Structure 1
Amino acid sequence: MSAVGSVRSPLEAGLVALLLERPPTSARLPVGVLTKEEKAAELQRLQVRRAMDAAYEAELILGLAEDTPDTLDPSADHPGARKGAWAPDTELPGVSQFFSSELAVVLNCGRATASHRARRAWTYRENLPATWAALTGGALDEGRAAVLADVLQHTSPDIARQVESRLLPEAGELSRTRLRARALELLVALDADAVDARREDAERQADVRSYPSHLEGMATLAAELPADEVAEAYALIDQLAAMAKADGDPRPIGQIRAEVFSLLVRRPADHGLPAVSAQVTVTAALDAVEGASAAPGSVGGLPITAAHVRELLRRIAALGLQRPEGGSLALALTDPDGRLLAATTPEQLAGVARRGCRDHPEATCDCPLLSRPPATDTYTPTGAQDAFVVTRDRGCRFPHCGQRVGWTDRDHVVPHAAGGATDCANLCCLCRSHHRLKTLARGWLFVMDDDGTLHVTTPSGVTRTTRPPGMHPPGLRPLSPGPPNPEKPAERSPSGPAADDDPPPL
């Protein structure tokens, strides 16, 4: 039951405040004095504690959801209200459409993760009360309880409880993989429509994703596809790789398969699609490009070494500031802390260099010839402002979102209608979902510093801060400059870890 609207005595309020201030640690035994048997027993006790905490977390999430009803959302006829593709099924009945975003900020995770946790908590309460009770008592671990919740979230409470009653007694003795398989077997027998709904939901959420690999300098490109399509695609890739191997390619078969996959995606034969030009952003520190340091760079937001950056630039002849065929070349100038000073093109930079300062001799002048674009009186940002903001932000600036910059809006942090200037210090990139949240959801606060640092505060009072990619956090210095020494690891600042993996732009 939510505490909103209830009356608490001053003693109760004081007690709650005191408990909320307690340290987030619990008593721990000194590991060094424990026997092997005692360490094993303590590990088992820890698993019970984690299960009980998971149940408590679910209860807190549901309580926060009750405090965020959909009565706070804009009406269906309100400008910007969800319609058509922007009106998906309600995540939690009766709960605000913006709840998952608030929960994500509270938990300091992505919105998809927060939404998944909320849906799982809802399933425990509505569909699997016995599982939730076992979790609360520490009789069932969090991983196995989550398996049941994830499989049974789309079926009716009656069907879910039938499956639960069959599996819960033996759940602790089954592996998670076997428990999932058994739950699906029973669900297919009792409610095949729920399995189809689960598959259709997975297809709606499917996407192509890229993320860094655990192998240095590599990245993973993955797509969620129907199982039959994956099987067909893999068979094709494997056959082409096997043919190359039979023709004498000496490389490992896995490397050949990866190259075949890349070629099929980047140069599909007879695809019949309109021509496109992919724009890939390569960022690097200038001294790394020149070979004077080993500061890392990135390509498409994925970290790569300085040597890899120089290899890429040689391949596109960018060291000579030549625009690659079918693409574009832009430069971003930053200060030593990674703050963006200006976004320009090679042609503009050459013109500035030729023109110089009009007011002072070159030998004595330190006037900034390139700087942030000036503000404009119009609502729509100028082309120079758009280029600056896109270069600075590189994606949605909402905490843990990171939607690609090509899918974002240029939002006035202080609304233009409320006197907010169309200025780079008041503009940031927000994806459409978080743009709608900022505009329509009640109780949120967005504040941006002059350097582009964004502070987002939820209606529940939690604030998260995001800095433009490549800007060093306060108090952290970048890696020591100078040429790399293979015999000596890079030195780090004594005040903390190394600077962000995402370096400032070139």
Structure 2
Amino acid sequence: MEDGGVPRPPEDGVPVPVLPAEVVSPLLAELELVCDIWSADAHMAREHARQAATIAELARRRSASRDAAYGPRGGPGPDSRAMRPAALADVSDDFVSELAVIRHCSEAEAGRLGAESLLLTTKLAPTWSELYAGRLTVRKARILLDLLGDADEEVAAGVQARVLPGAEACPPGRLADRARYHLYRLDADAKERRRREAERRADVHVERTADDLGRLVIEGPLPAVHAARDAVDQYARWMRADGDDRPMGVLRSAAALDLILRPWDTSRPPVTAQLHIHAALSSLRPDAPAGAAPAELDGQLISAAQCRELLASLDMLNLGSAPTGGAVHVAIDDPATGETLAVASRAELRRAAGLGRRIRRRSRRGHPAEATGLSGGAGDDGPGLRPPPPTRGYRPTAAQRRLVTARDRHCRMPGCRRRPGRHDLDHGRAFAAGGPTACWNFCCLCRRHHRIKTFARGWSFTLLPDGRLIVRTPSGVSRHTRPPGWYHDPEPDPPWLDDLAPPDPLRM
């Protein structure tokens, strides 16, 4: 380390943080280091409390009365109301979206943080005070939030009065046990109420794990979950008895997926699973190098090798036969910018290239001439591919919907990753104001964010010609998104952003 405590960059170029030389000395007792750790914990707790108070104040300014002005179409849907925390019942439905844009986080995180902030500044005000004083860590505060968030105010006050005095010296696990003990003594129905609330919020979701694997999580009543697991285990043991020598964990995984997908069942209408894959053509070649560019499957990156295995298993690489119950569409991207120019099926690609096209010539007398074979031999006289043309109607055509969905891949709201199939194609410039029904004037918005754009007060959505969607919240925060895979040079900000910039003292 150089004199003065400036860290010297190591060989890999990453600096190593160190304390200044005058601080690191034999005279510095280890107790002082311990005190610095305690001080950092107290500062983090105080800043969390300050943030909670600020978020709660913004939430109170976003009253739910804002939603009522737009009628039932402007209010939240049944799924949104069912999953909404009770602490946000009196807050406008678009507040969570605004907080997510402000913090650049997901709406799930923003909703949790908004509910915690309101609870900490109302029913759990004693907990907020201990947090602000630095006597309670953020983790301990969240333990009390989880247990007392749905309790009555009197019960919450009674539990806090019993557990907060000794909470500073109490480990988190012990604090949770103490809070749960007093909660169940003061409110005998609390445990059953929490169980019913958890069942009401049960869902199925996917978690990404290491090495291009995923975990399908099915939430449900504990007895039913155990029964399902035992059934899967029994099927796996039957597979082992039939001679399958793979590990039992792999057999259980295969059995569970087969029980859901049921590839052997032809007695009922098939359920077609739609997979959206984006991959470079060079990565799909059999001789692709080991370091080929990864592919994207429903918004998740997978290796090029795994993508080739998936396409081969679905028989999608064979142009001579179409897979049962599905279709393959290829997106043609500009190699320089990544902009999606066209989307076509395999048959459309062949026609565009002039392959397999049969032309019938007619004589002057109207009799058909002999049909030709493959025109052009090498297929270089085809009409080519073009983006779907604009239409005069309000609704997009099937070709337009196909291209925009493949281009955007998910909702374009900053932080939202809802997949295609749950989207509305929204005009960037309103159709009523002269906006054309063209691909460049469309972007994908999920139903929730489409409703916010149309009905919520103070929001601004601007779709620029370069593909950027700029979203401005009622509080003046702006974020922008581009279609995935687009790589444009930075463009100037829209003119109205200049109004938010502080005045330049040099120009005054």
TM-score, structure 2 normalization = 0.79
Kindly indicate whether structure 1 or structure 2 has the higher relative contact order, using CA contacts under 8 Å at least 6 residues apart: 1
Q: State the partner residue of 2:41.
A: 47
Which among 129, 135, 139 is matched to residue 133 of structure 1?
A: 129
Q: CA deviation at 1:139?
A: 0.7
Structure with larger Rg? 2
From the superposition, tell whether residues 218 and 134 of structure 1 become closer, same or farther in structure 2 (CA, over 3 Å). same
Q: CA deviation at 1:203?
A: 2.8
Structure 1: how far apart are the matches of 2:87 and 2:431? 32
Which among 35, 60, 70 is matched to residue 64 of structure 2?
A: 70
1:235 aligns with 2:218: no
- Please tell me whether the aligned partners of residues 207 and 223 of structure 1 are also in contact (alpha carbons under 8 angstroms): yes
SS of 1:307's equivalent?
helix
Q: State the partner residue of 2:247.
A: 252
Q: CA deviation at 1:260?
A: 2.1
Q: CA deviation at 1:271?
A: 11
Q: State the partner residue of 1:19.
A: none
Q: CA deviation at 1:404?
A: 1.9
- Please tell me whether the aligned partners of residues 279 and 328 of structure 1 are also in contact (alpha carbons under 8 angstroms): no
SS of 1:259's equivalent?
helix
Q: CA deviation at 1:228?
A: 2.0
- Describe the superposition over 1:460-500 as per-residue Cα deviations: whole angstroms up to 9, x where unpaired: 1111222222334758xxxxxxxxxxxxxxxxxxxxxxxxx
Q: State the partner residue of 1:375.
A: 390
Q: State the partner residue of 1:30.
A: 19
Farther off after superposition, 259-268 or 33-42: 33-42
What is the aligned-residue RMSD (CA, Å)? 3.1
Q: State the partner residue of 1:351.
A: 351
SS of 1:126's equivalent?
coil
Q: CA deviation at 1:85?
A: 5.5
Which among 315, 320, 323 is matched to residue 317 of structure 1?
A: 315
- Describe the superposition over 1:350-389 as per-residue Cα deviations: whole angstroms up to 9, x where unpaired: 1111189xxxx999x9999323222211110011110011
Q: State the partner residue of 1:183.
A: 179
Farther off after superposition, 455-464 or 266-275: 266-275
Structure 2, unmatched stretches of 5+, are: 1-16, 358-375, 491-508
- Please tell me whether the aligned partners of residues 126 and 157 of structure 1 are also in contact (alpha carbons under 8 angstroms): no
SS of 2:317's equivalent?
helix
Q: Which amino acid aligns with 2:299?
A: G
Q: State the partner residue of 1:330.
A: 329
Farther off after superposition, 157-166 or 318-327: 318-327
Q: CA deviation at 1:348?
A: 1.0
Structure 1: how far apart are the matches of 2:446 and 2:191? 32
Q: Which amino acid aligns with 1:309?
A: C
Q: State the partner residue of 2:166.
A: 170
- Please tell me whether the aligned partners of residues 235 and 255 of structure 2 are also in contact (alpha carbons under 8 angstroms): yes
SS of 2:47's equivalent?
helix
Q: CA deviation at 1:276?
A: 1.3
SS of 1:169's equivalent?
coil
Q: What does residue range 89-108 of structure 1 map to in structure 2 within 5 Å?
A: 91-108=87-104
Q: Which amino acid aligns with 2:253?
A: A
- Please tell me whether the aligned partners of residues 144 and 172 of structure 1 are also in contact (alpha carbons under 8 angstroms): no
From the superposition, tell whether residues 252 and 42 of structure 1 become closer, same or farther in structure 2 (CA, over 3 Å). farther
Structure 1: how far apart are the matches of 2:117 and 2:403? 42
- Please tell me whether the aligned partners of residues 373 and 384 of structure 1 are also in contact (alpha carbons under 8 angstroms): yes
Q: State the partner residue of 1:417.
A: 432
- Please tell me whether the aligned partners of residues 241 and 260 of structure 1 are also in contact (alpha carbons under 8 angstroms): yes
SS of 1:298's equivalent?
strand
Q: CA deviation at 1:205?
A: 2.7
Structure 1, unmatched stretches of 5+, are: 1-27, 476-506
Structure 2: how far apart are the matches of 1:41 and 1:242? 56
Structure 2: how far apart are the matches of 1:190 and 1:273? 52
Q: Which amino acid aligns with 1:330?
A: H
Farther off after superposition, 459-468 or 192-201: 192-201
Q: Which amino acid aligns with 2:141?
A: A
- Describe the superposition over 1:228-257 as per-residue Cα deviations: whole angstroms up to 9, x where unpaired: 222222222233334545666443332222
Q: Which amino acid aligns with 1:345?
A: S
- Please tell me whether the aligned partners of residues 298 and 419 of structure 2 are also in contact (alpha carbons under 8 angstroms): no
Aligned residues: 442
- Please tell me whether the aligned partners of residues 66 and 457 of structure 2 are also in contact (alpha carbons under 8 angstroms): yes
Structure 2: how far apart are the matches of 1:174 and 1:332? 58
Q: State the partner residue of 2:410.
A: 395
Q: CA deviation at 1:219?
A: 1.5
Structure 1: how far apart are the matches of 2:18 and 2:226? 50
From the superposition, tell whether residues 159 and 114 of structure 1 become closer, same or farther in structure 2 (CA, over 3 Å). same
Q: CA deviation at 1:130?
A: 1.4
Structure 1: how far apart are the matches of 2:266 and 2:137? 49
The percentage of aligned residue pairs carrying the same residue is: 38
Q: CA deviation at 1:124?
A: 1.0
Structure 1: how far apart are the matches of 2:272 and 2:165? 57
- Please tell me whether the aligned partners of residues 211 and 302 of structure 1 are also in contact (alpha carbons under 8 angstroms): no
- Please tell me whether the aligned partners of residues 468 and 483 of structure 2 are also in contact (alpha carbons under 8 angstroms): yes
Q: Which amino acid aligns with 1:377?
A: R
Q: CA deviation at 1:176?
A: 3.2
From the superposition, tell whether residues 198 and 422 of structure 1 become closer, same or farther in structure 2 (CA, over 3 Å). farther
Q: Which amino acid aligns with 1:403?
A: R
Q: CA deviation at 1:77?
A: 3.8
Which among 459, 470, 473 is matched to residue 474 of structure 2?
A: 459
- Please tell me whether the aligned partners of residues 49 and 132 of structure 2 are also in contact (alpha carbons under 8 angstroms): yes
